[in-house]
Amino acid sequence: MKRTFRQHGFALLPLSVALALAGPLAHADDEDLDAAAQAPIETPMYAPGEEPITSEFFHKFTVEGGYGPEGSRLGEDRSGFYNLRYEPSFAWYSPEKRWAKWQVFGRAMLNYSSDENTTGLQEDDERQVEGFSSELREFYVRRNLLGDDPRFAVSVGRQRYYDRFGIWWDDSIESVRFDYNDTFANGFVALGEKFYYYNSDENSLDPREEDITFLMGQYAYRLDGKNWVGVRMQLQNDHSDNDPEDNEDFRGVRLGLFVRGDQIDHALLSDYHLELATLAGRIETPDTVDNFGRVRQGDRENTRGWAVIGEVGKSFPEMTWAPRFSLRAGITDKPDDEFDGFRLNSLQSDRINNPETYSAGAVGSFVRLNMRNLMFYGVGLETRPHDRGHLDLRLSDIYQRNKELGAMSNQDFALRGVGSRRASADRGVGQVFDINYFWEMFPVAYSGRYLNMHLLVNASYFNAGDAMKDVGDDSQVSVGVVVRY
């Protein structure tokens, strides 16, 4: 149902358009761990006619449509949907881009959706609703070359954080961030808190996201040219008041370890990535008032949990279509009650972030995982039928760890988005078959810049298991085009 725009939301639209802000700047994320340290500072040299770059504008247009259940929620009525999105971006450098000491960056989203459906083409937007909305997604100031050392930088503002599997961070947040980037080590430390959505449809935060401070960090060490090992940390302090609309406050710590490797010359293995995440802290629920005016004290419970997710792959580049076979799996602890066990917070997701092609959930673009009370595994086949073309297939199987807990509440269920239905007390959630065709146009030079276009066609089918018989089988198909300039 289309919402009415709020006055504070209209104030954001001219700000979004005025900034017209830009494609992503590099951060010390998991995908950037192979970046070597920058060379020693020298006086920049320019070719004849070359001018120093002091500012850049970028544009991204996305058009997509499809057919599936309303809001991508299993069990809802199916219908057609379409999304239109324009993302202007801007970057300013001082004194110039090659050795910038100062950078200013911003990125906005202008979105029109016929429905709340989501696909693998677009970055998640939890405020996406039917109709028009705009959002100032990123805006920050960055100081490079701290102490004239290219390894150190600090940035302040709303910045995007993401890791490969999304289970640590996959969102934008107002923060102060210190980055370190060397040849054999890489990391960051950040302190942040969400204050607004900067969205024309809804600027004020959901009560469940208000007054939460995060201290985040990671450190990775390069073992050799192909292997990395690292640690991650996140402290969460929910200091919100006793609000009935905020059903759960968590104060605690998440600690984890990851290892990854690429382009490995082994008979059984070409690449791998493994994440271990642990959780320990305290959960508090608000006081409530029953129909007779009696106050019921909220609960205060200690909680612990863990999750492991990983993928191993083997590539055969010399074979026809250069196939890559992969095994992806994940498992969480088995929670005993609603307070126990691993869970995601508002900064995290189950999204596999892959800026080179497309991003999707751990089991595909349609079915999303809650990373709680969960076990899944899947096999994948990635092929390249022609230059700049990918045809990828994935088959996954999903189970509950504690079947009784999953039947009590969707909050403790393995899947996200199952409408108003509850799972039954069975372990088998179901199987997911996901197929993608991705095509990338050869870049075209125009007015000194490159024009790029991507096409993604996706089809997903969910075969309901015993725990989801009330929901039944479901499917979604979509096609989208992304143009960048």
Element (H, E) at 233: strand 227-238
Tell me which residues of the chain have a pLDDT lower than 50.
Answer: 1-42
* Tokens linked to 401: 């760890």
| CA-to-CA dists, residue 24 to 34, 159, 231, angstroms | 17, 10, 24
List, as one string, the DSSP characters of 144-157. ESGGG-TTEEEEEE
> What pLDDT is recorded for position 70?
86
> What pLDDT is recorded for position 298?
72
Q: Are 393 and 384 within 8 A, CB to CB?
A: no
List, as one string, the DSSP characters of 321-337. T--EEEEEEEEE---SS
- Residue 249: strand pairing partners: 284
* Preceding peptide of 95 cis, ω within 30°: yes
Q: Are 460 and 476 within 8 A, CB to CB?
A: yes
- How do residues 287-335 score in pLDDT, each as one tens digit? 666 666 666 677 788 999 999 999 999 999 999 999 999 999 999 999 9
pTM of the model: 0.84
> What pLDDT is recorded for position 393?
97
Give the span between the Cα atoms of 156 and 162, in whole angstroms.
Answer: 17
Q: Are 353 and 170 within 8 A, CB to CB?
A: yes
> What pLDDT is recorded for position 323?
97
Helix, strand, coil share of the chain (percent; to 5): 10, 50, 40
Q: Taking the C-alpha atoms of 38, 40, 45 and 50 in order, what is their torsion angle to the nearest 10 degrees? A: 20
Q: Domain locations in the chain?
A: 123-130+138-484
3-class DSSP assignment, residue 416: strand
Domain covering 123-130+138-484 assigned CATH 2.40.160.100 in the classification: yes
